[in-house]
Structures are given as C-alpha cells and as structure tokens.
Structure 1
Amino acid sequence: MARRIVAHKGYSGVGINEVLATAGVPKGSFYHYFASKDAFGEALLRDYFDEYLADMDRIVTQPGRPAVERLMAYWQQWRETQSFDECEGKCLAVKLGAEVADLSEAMRLALKEGTDAIVERLGRTLADGVEDGSITVDGDPGEMAQALYDMWLGASVMAKIHRSLAPLDTAAAMTRHLLHL
C-alpha cells in the first residue's frame, strides 16, 4: 500500500500521515518500527528489492530454457511492469532513484545494493548465454549487464516523460542488437 502511494506521488510528495491514514496504523506504531521517515523509506526500498529480486530470479533462473529466452523474458516483464502507466509500486528504482539519492544516504545505499544485485543477476544470465551459445557479447558480460540496465533505466524515465512505450521498445531493439540476436 505504501509502495503504491510512493510510486504514484514520489517520496517527498508523501507524508507519513497519509501512509498511516491509508494503512489505518496509529502514529505511535510507526515510530515503534521506524526512527524516521528516511528509515521507513529505506525499509520500503529494501522490501521492494527483496520482492523484485525474487521475481527476477523466477524469470532468469528457469531451468531448461536457454539464457537468451530467460533474459528476453526479463526485459519483457520490465516493459510490462516498469512503464509509465500506473506501475503500482513496481517501479520504485525508476521513480525514486534520482529523487532520494541526494536526500538520504541510507536510501541511496539501499538503491545501490538493490540495483547492483539486479546487474549481477543480469551479468550471470549473460554469462550463461555465452556458455550455452544463445548470446554473443562483445566484451565482459558484467559490463554489458551494467550497460543494458543503465539503458533500460533511462528508457523507463523517458517512457514516463513521453508517456509512451516507444523508449522501452527502442531499448528492446538495442538489446537485441547488442547481443547479436
């Protein structure tokens, strides 16, 4: 619930009272669990990444599928859940990355750890694809994973700005090009 509100309004645009009222939680209970709004934001991000990475693992570690299929299924899932149209809390890294990185060191570190874990999984999937012959990478799979993630993150921001899926479609086309698919 809080994730959906923050994804819609941004971190700075949401007050703790709004979250508490929506959740039906008394203010005292909030401060029992969180020392501050930033501590709440950090916990929100860590919970988001735990869920996101579990979903990602279900996609990129499917047995019996070539790595290229698993990787492209991940990007398709991204297109469907990280786009501009009511991401419903599924796009917090896109929504909050630039907003909170300068506001809270704890939240910046939660974002860094979460996005590093995503890139690590992408790198592992790319390396699997090189090994099974379904993907060709010019250079290091880890560096390619970082470049692809950066491109998709930027495309997600542009999709929000333009209110169009075209930037994500361009990212998908460039992904196929970079992986020689």
Structure 2
Amino acid sequence: MNSRLRLDKRELILAKGAEVMTRRGYHGAGVQEIVQAAGVPKGSFYHYFASKEDFAQQALQAVYGPRLQRYAEALSNPALTPRERILGYYAELVEHFARQEKREYHCFIGSLSFEMAELSPLIGAQVDAILQRSADILQHCLEQAQAAGELSAEEDCNNLASFIASAWQGALTRLKVSSNTRVLDDFLQRLQLLLRA
C-alpha cells in the first residue's frame, strides 16, 4: 500500500509539475510552484527527484511515453489503410485544436528543447530521442503505405517521415505564436498531397 501511495505522489508531482513547466517554461517554473500545484511539501520533490533537471527528464518520459504509445497504436490500426491512419490521426489533432474556445498551444517538449537543449545535454538528448521515436513510428507506417501501393515506390520513407514530423512541430510553433489554426489546415492539406502514390 505504501509503495502505491509513493508512486501516486510521484506521478502527481510529475503530472502537475509538467503542466506548470509547460505553461511557464523550464526557467519560469520553480520547485516551489511545482509542489504547490501538486499540493505536496517541498521535501517530497527532492525525495523523488535529485534536481529540477532530473524532474524534467522524468516528466518528459511520463508525458511522452503514453503519447508515443497512442501514436504507435493509431498508426497500426488494422481497420484502416496506412494512408488513412496517418491522415486520420493528424486530422483528429487539427480538429482538437479547432474546437478549443481559446486557441492556444503549449508544448512541453517544444519549450524544453528551446530553453534547455544547449544548456542540458541530458535533456537535449532525451528530447531528440522522443522526436526520433515519433519519426520512426511514422516511417514504419509510411513503409506499409509504400508496400500497399499507396505511396510511390521511389519515395524515401525515412526522409519523408523526418520532414512530416518537423513540419508538424513547425506548425505547432506557428499555432502558439498566432493562435490561428489555419497553419494546421495548411499542414493537413500539404500532407494529403505528400501521401499520394
């Protein structure tokens, strides 16, 4: 029971702290603000995390581990063709942002990459590994599309996956700046053109 409570408290700090760090950035989020958001004493933070940098690394895994799992599941759905999986996944994300009353986007991994990639090689390497894993999942689905004749046999799936992943991150950055989902619509329109045989 005690181990479950300890795990729950750690997960609570990770969840609430990641929200704070996503909104305020790495440098803008102090340990005190993180523990206040989680409703735990400051000593609890240092019981589970050696430092704020250690917290950020563990929070990245806690946030993006499940997201990558959902992405992999969506892009391996046997009920859809590979092309349908990719287009459907990104169309759902675009619709999600379009439904928001206040159109804004705060990206945990984006904030950390801008602030910390050069200052913390450990965080930079972890961010890069997460982004690469996402591109690898997409590449696998693109290769399936190619095998199914949905994509040109001449297409370089590794390069295309890297391009799509980078374009999506760029579109999200524009969304954060402009709060206008047109940039996401543009991305989706171009993606449809890219994924043609």
Name the TM-score, length of structure 2 as normaliser: 0.82
* Alignment gaps of 5+ in structure 2: 1-15
Determine helix, strand or coil for the equivalent of 2:28.
Answer: coil
Pair 1:164-2:165 in alignment: no
1:47–1:101: structure 2 CA closer, same or farther, 3 Å change rule?
Answer: same
* Count of residue correspondences: 179
- Looking at structure 2, the residues matched to 134 and 52 of structure 1 have their Cα atoms a distance apart, in angstroms, of 26
Written as runs of structure 1 = structure 2, the 5 A alignment for 1:1-181 is 1-80=16-95, 85-87=103-105, 91-136=107-152, 138-180=154-196
Q: State the identity as a percent.
A: 27
Deviations 1:112-143 (A, max 9, x none): 11101000000001001111123337531011
1:73–1:137: structure 2 CA closer, same or farther, 3 Å change rule?
Answer: farther
- Looking at structure 2, the residues matched to 32 and 72 of structure 1 have their Cα atoms a distance apart, in angstroms, of 44
Matched to 1:16, the amino acid is V
| Greater displacement, 160-169 / 73-82 | 73-82
CA contact (8 A) 1:66 1:129 kept: yes
Q: State which structure, 1 or 2, has the greater radius of gyration over its C-alpha atoms.
A: 2
Q: Which has the higher helix share?
A: 2
Name the TM-score, length of structure 1 as normaliser: 0.89
CA shift, 1:147, in A, is: 0.5
1:39–1:80: structure 2 CA closer, same or farther, 3 Å change rule?
Answer: farther
- Looking at structure 2, the residues matched to 132 and 81 of structure 1 have their Cα atoms a distance apart, in angstroms, of 29
- Looking at structure 1, the residues matched to 167 and 82 of structure 2 have their Cα atoms a distance apart, in angstroms, of 20
RMSD: 2.1
